[in-house]
Amino acid sequence: MTSTERWFPGHLREVSREDCLALLGSKVVGRVAFCDDDGPTVLPVNYVVHDDTVLFRTGPAATIGRYLGGLAAFEVDDPDDYTESGWSVLVRGHVEPVEPEDLPADPDARPAPWPEGVRSLYLRIVPREITGRRVFPA
C-alpha cells in the first residue's frame, strides 16, 4: 500500500498491481480455478511467480491438462480470523504448458509440490488481469 492511500476500518481497499505482485510472491500455496465439463473447479497448488506468470506443476494425467489454452484464474489470500482482516489477490488469464527452456534456470527456483508423485507437467497462468483487495481490522 502506498502512503497516499486512505483507508477505513473494515473497508475493502483495492490493492495496486505492484503490491499484488509483491503479495503473490509472498506465498507458496495458491488456488487454480478452471472449468471442466462439470463447471468451475478449484485446485490448490504450490507455485512460484516467474516471468510475470504463475508457474506450477501437475501430473500428466491431471484434469487441467485437458483444458490447456483455456481460461483460468489463480487466487492467493491471507485471512486473519482473529482481527477479521486480510488480503486477497486474483489473477485472471489462461493456462498453458511451459517448455523446459522457459523454466527458471535454477532448479530451486521452480515450484516444489508438497505431495509426492510424478508432476512432470509444468503449467503457467498467463495473466490478463491482476487485482487485489485488502480488508482492514474493524
Residue with cell 497462468: 125
Q: Which of residues 26-65 bind a copy of itself (CB under 8 A)?
A: 28-29, 31, 33-35, 38-42, 44
Q: Where are the beta strands (DSSP E) in the chain?
A: 12-15, 29-36, 39-50, 53-58, 71-77, 86-97, 121-135
Element (H, E) at 65: none
Single residue of 21, 90, 123, 130 touching a copy of itself by CB under 8 A: 90
Q: Does 84 bind a copy of itself (CB under 8 A)?
A: yes
Q: Does 14 bind a copy of itself (CB under 8 A)?
A: no
Grid cell, residue 3, equals 502512503
CB of 113 to a copy of itself, least distance (A): 9
User: How far, in Å, CA of 83 to CA of 19, rounded?
Assistant: 21
Residues engaged in binding a copy of itself (CB under 8 A): 8-12, 28-29, 31, 33-35, 38-42, 44, 70-75, 77, 79, 81, 84-86, 88, 90, 92, 94, 114-117, 128, 135, 138
